[in-house]
Structure 1
Amino acid sequence: MKAQLSVASNYSEACELLRSGYVKHVRLNWNVGSDEFFRIASDWCDTGAKIKKEGDSFIISLKGFPIPRQH
């Protein structure tokens, strides 16, 4: 069974989905700026997430369900 891909409209929604424990892949469905991209990479990639470009958007994928530090 293939993991479901959820869609986030902003950074907060993406974090909420990833922290929920129910999804492993989140499409960032907004125009992600460079500062925001590096914030996402810092918060999530340090905990084992992968970010890939697919078409015009980015997808964050988790192997497990690590929860990044709270800001």
Structure 2
Amino acid sequence: MKQQLSTASNYNEACELLRSGYVKHVRLNWNVGSDEFFRIASDWCDTGAKIKKDGDSFIISLKGFPVPRQH
């Protein structure tokens, strides 16, 4: 069974979707700048998420449902 892919239009929306516990894959559907990309990588990859390039966007995938530290 293929996991559903949700789409986020900004960093906060992506984090909300990932923290929800219902979503394992989030497409970053905006022009992600380098600072934002490294912020996402720092917040999520340290907790086990993977980021991959898919066409013109990135997809964050969670293996489990870790919740990164709150800022």
Name the TM-score class by shorter chain.
over 0.9
Deviations 1:2-27 (A, max 9, x none): 10000000000000000000010000
| Aligned-residue CA RMSD (Å) | 0.3
In structure 1, how many angstroms separate the alpha carbons of the residues matched to 2:49 and 2:10? 18
TM-score with structure 1 setting the length: 0.99
TM-score with structure 2 setting the length: 0.99
1:59 Cα deviation (Å)? 0.1
SS across alignment from 2:58: strand
Q: Which residue does 1:29 correspond to in 2?
A: 29
> Where in structure 1 do 4 or more consecutive aligned residues deviate above 6 Å?
none
* Structure 2: gaps (5+ residues): none
In structure 2, how many angstroms separate the alpha carbons of the residues matched to 1:23 and 1:11? 15
